[in-house]
Amino acid sequence: MAQLLQTWDNTHFFQGTDDPRIATEIDAVKSEIASLVTGCEPFGDRIATAEILAPEQFAALIAEIKAIHLQRNSIVERLSNVHTFISSTLSVNAKDPDANIWLPTLQQIWATLTQAMTPVDVFLVRVSDAFVTALLADPALEELSFSVIHSRRLKDQLLSVDEEKIITGLAVTGLHGWGNLYDKLAGSLQCTINGESVGLAKAANLLGSDQRTTREAAWRGINQAWSGSQETVAMILNAINGWRLEETQQRGRIRTLHYLDKSCHQSRIERSTLDALMDSTYRHRAVGQRAMQAMAKALDLPKLAPWDVMAPPPVVGEAAAISFEAAIDLIAQAFSRLTPAMGDFAVMMAQKGWIDATPTPHRTTGAYCTKFANPREPRIFLTYEGTMGNVMTLAHELGHAWHNWVMIDLPVMKTRYSMTLAETASIFAETLVREALMQQAQDPAQQLEIAWQNAESAVSLLLNIPARFEFETRLVEARKTGFVIADQLSAMMHDSWAYWFEESLSEYDEMFWASKLHFSISQLGFYNYPYLFGYLFSLGIYAQRSKYGNQFNEVYTNLLRDTGSMTAEAVVQKHLGQDIRQSTFWEDSLKIVEQSIAQFEALVEQRQRSLTLV
């Protein structure tokens, strides 16, 4: 394959972060919002009588809401374009001076937009069912169906317009200030590893080193660094969770809401689904533990330590780096087995320069998929250095991008899916690539390298993610009764790890509450279980291939297209005829993981035998 672009070209949006058109665009958006406020405000006074509106009043109000909706869509589109441009620039160069000034401005404008819309949002929750039916019958407003109906499920949790506005306004510097503090801290902490001072991002990469001493030094260095700031992180976690509990209490004047109910509402799943998912996984925790034992065996260790869980597979000699072109080619071939269009899409992403992968000096860590709103173009960010892990990350993000791509003709409001369903598309794409690689593998050594990825996923998703869930549940419960000090947080993390990992680790990661940024995300709690959901859910879908034969891609594509306008339960019922509130659905997926771990164990055994023979 010819050489591909590995650097974004976003110049058809703006020339650079110093492009004067950014300021012009932001000014235009601000005045649009000001005019939106004028249109929305009267709805504040209509809330009190919303439930008893006479049908003859409907038409005029629907016309007003339609104008507001169209204006809002246009604002969101323009603001998203600027925001994606600025945040993309910051990913590639965290030190870009203009982008660093624009970002907080943009966050402020988003909050202003939410505040502007509040009277209408509250009105639409309070109004009668008859009004909503009339409203959604309008073709221009039909795209609001899911979001309006879903919001109305929390009708009794809503506060007055003024109270809602106060919460949104105060949260910018209050609640989210704590999240920003964590990010600042993580960006400034230095770890001492083997006498050398390095930032956290670099230290995190060293956890994947093939040298055990380096991994241990990195793990200890990271924990040492966080220990020095543990009082600060304890303040952050207490503030964020205290804020959420207080807000939940304020909203619970009519009906008390459990903190997991709120998370499930955001994830668009029912509590019974979450319970079935977590209970089934707990019953099968031995699968993840077996993966750990086999990994330990392959690494000649009696047990894995926390610094070994990201160790690369043992290879004879140096593993050859995979070029970016080869990675795209490999992924495209794997995707094409589902449908050629998906393979062509992966190549197109790279040809158009929609993937930024080249290591740059002031690059942020991690990988993600984002998009521009107009024209709708996906973008992928990752740092590609030629490892098999990098190839899988690229496949994962291309899965997200494909999800966006198959929805490209849908109205924007119908393309907003929850995290649970987002992670389904990405992990499905990873599965396609792993399966293809496994079939192409020339010998057991290569098979082991690929099966290693399956084992690492099982450990991460069946044990680590649930341990995070366990910790967060304990944290929220403890925060109800008062401030939770750092030592208590460490003890809680210890117990959560013990609950899931049991005897499979030589020690537990007690500082994980501080070192894992996910607990300090101010926007939403219980950030982690959607990954477990996506993992098992995508395996469950993947397992249906033989049942649907040639129809499978159509079924899968239609399922993806509905993710923005249905709950997870409804999507699965409609497209696969299954009930995810039942353990059976999850058990079937766990059986697939169990099979891949059994295969991994056999490959490890085979390797050990061949080593003893030599």
Classified as helix, coil or strand, 190 is: strand
In angstroms, how far is CA 558 from the centroid of its own chain?
A: 22
Helix, coil or strand: residue 355: strand
Locus of tokens 């494909």: 402
In this complex, which beta carbon is closest to Zn ion, that of residue 420 or of residue 426? 426
- Count of other CB atoms within 10 angstroms of residue 459: 25
Please identify which residue in the block is written with the tokens 């317009």: 161
**13 phi, psi to nearest 5 deg:** -95, -60
CB 399 within 8 A of CB 305: no
Q: Which residues contact 203 (CB under 8 A, 6 or more apart)?
A: 191, 193, 218, 221, 222, 225
By C-beta, is 531 or 586 nearer to Zn ion?
Answer: 531
CB of 467 to Zn ion, least distance (A): 20
Residue 367 CB, nearest approach to Zn ion (Å):
8
Q: Which helix (H) or strand (E) is 368 found in, with range?
A: strand 368-372
What's the min distance (Å) between Cβ of 394 and Zn ion? 12
**Nearest approach, Cβ of residue 423 and Zn ion (Å):** 5
For residue 391, the minimal CB distance to Zn ion (Å) is: 15
Where on the chain is the footprint of Zn ion (CB under 5 A)?
426
Give the nearer residue to Zn ion in terms of CB position, either 86 or 398: 398
Three-state SS string over 494-509 comes to: HHHHHHHHHHHECCCC
Q: Which is nearer to Zn ion, 155 or 416 (CB)?
A: 416
Instruction: Report the residue number, 430 or 470, with the smaller CB distance to Zn ion.
Output: 430
Q: For residues 218 and 394, which CB has a smaller minimum distance to Zn ion in the complex?
A: 394
State yes or no: cis peptide before 375, omega within 30 of 0: yes
Find the residue with minimal CB distance to Zn ion.
426
Q: Given the complex with Zn ion, which of 219 and 556 has the nearer CB atom?
A: 556
Q: 355 φ, ψ to 5°?
A: -120, 125
The helix (H) or strand (E) run that includes residue 184 is: helix 175-188
The least CB distance from residue 603 to Zn ion, in Å, is 27
We find the least distance from the C-beta atom of residue 395 to Zn ion, in angstroms, to be: 11
Q: Which residue's CB is nearer to Zn ion, number 367 or number 559?
A: 367
Q: What are phi and psi of 528, to 5 degrees?
A: -95, -35
Select 469 or 527, whichever has its Cβ closest to Zn ion: 527
Q: Which of 529, 531, 515, 526 is nearest to 396 (CA)?
A: 531
Nearest to Zn ion of 394, 462 (CB atom): 394
CB of 246 to Zn ion, least distance (A): 31
Tell me the closest approach of the beta carbon of residue 396 to Zn ion, in angstroms. 6
Least distance CB 473 / Zn ion (angstroms): 23
Specify burial of residue 439 (Cβ count, 10 A radius: 0-12, 13-18, 19+). exposed
Sign of torsion over alpha carbons 418, 424, 427, 429: negative
- Six-digit token pair at 298? 């392959």
Q: Which residues, in sequence order, are CB contacts of 583 under 8 Å at separation 6+?
A: 276, 279, 280
Give me the long-range contacts of 178-184 (CB less than 8 A, separation at least 24): 178/235, 178/236, 178/239, 178/240, 178/243, 178/520, 178/522, 179/236, 179/240, 179/520, 179/521, 179/522, 179/523, 180/522, 181/232, 181/236, 182/233, 182/236, 182/517, 182/520, 183/517
Closer to Zn ion by Cβ: residue 127 or 459 = 459
Write down the least CB distance from residue 426 to Zn ion, Å: 4
